Amino acid sequence: SQQGEEDPQALSIQEGENATMNCSYKTSINNLQWYRQNSGRGLVHLILIRSNEREKHSGRLRVTLDTSKKSSSLLITASRAADTASYFCATAPGTYKYIFGTGTRLKVLA
Amino acid sequence: NAGVTQTPKFQVLKTGQSMTLQCAQDMNHNSMYWYRQDPGMGLRLIYYSASEGTTDKGEVPNGYNVSRLNKREFSLRLESAAPSQTSVYFCASTRGDTEAFFGQGTRLTVV
């Protein structure tokens, strides 16, 4: 079974709105990462948050981590059409064994 | 800087044929990975190599073998392809407990 599960599976918003997606995982982790995948392409790393961090920002991205609930959220503010993609969280339940969630498909309507 | 390079980009196989997917990285990363992604699904880990000379099974290793030829190269072999192995295959590498860099994928169809 997947280590990470993203929620919702699909999300459709208007340009300029904020998009929030969540990730739940099962085992203890050293860090949690978020990736973006444009259709048919490889994944691109967005942001990494370590287990001793609670919040991290990068540009229009804000990631939170709650290790007590084994969950993380990714917020994209002021979304753009170019943000349309699938977003995945990844964790490493064992050393170097990166496991990805099922992804959230985000569609930003112009 | 090429990053992670996968070959081929596309391949069609007949059931029972064999083939090797190649992956090379030029970032001096220790760890390398093979994933498969089925339509509308996330990535599932097939095999990984934490360092040169070591390989370990991931979530879905059955029907596959791997070789960590050297620090740069990590190949994935299908000995007897089956339609269930139709998928997009991604190779990735990491320096350690940090971000993963992905190749552009190999689209494999088994008929």
A58-94: pLDDT as tens digits: 999 999 999 999 999 999 999 999 999 999 999 877 6
pLDDT band (50, 70, 90) for residue A2: very low
DSSP assignment of A52-82: T-SEEEETTEEEEEETTTTEEEEEE-S--GG
pLDDT, tens only, B6-26: 999 999 999 999 999 999 999
Do the chains contact at B100 and A45, CB–CB below 8 Å?
Answer: yes
Residue B52 CA to residue A42 CA, distance in Å, equals 24
pLDDT, tens only, B29-61: 999 999 999 987 789 999 999 999 999 999 999
DSSP assignment of B4-31: EEEE-SEEEE-TT--EEEEEEESS--SE
Q: How far is CA A28 from CA A54, A56, A66, A94, B41, in A?
A: 15, 19, 11, 9, 24
Check residue A6 and give its pLDDT: 85
The verdict on B38 touching A (C-beta cutoff 8 Å) is: no
At A16, list the tokens: 């300029």
Check residue A1 and give its pLDDT: 43
pLDDT greater than 60 at residue A38: yes
Which residues of chain B neighbour A96 with C-beta distances below 8 Å? 31, 48, 50, 94, 96-97
Residues 6+ apart with CB under 8 A from A1: none
pLDDT, tens only, B56-95: 999 999 999 999 989 999 999 999 999 999 999 999 999 8
Check residue A94 and give its pLDDT: 64
Residue B1 CA to residue B9 CA, distance in Å, equals 19
Q: Under DSSP, is residue A99 helix (H, G, I), strand (E, B) or coil?
A: strand
pLDDT greater than 90 at residue A29: no
The verdict on B74 touching A (C-beta cutoff 8 Å) is: no
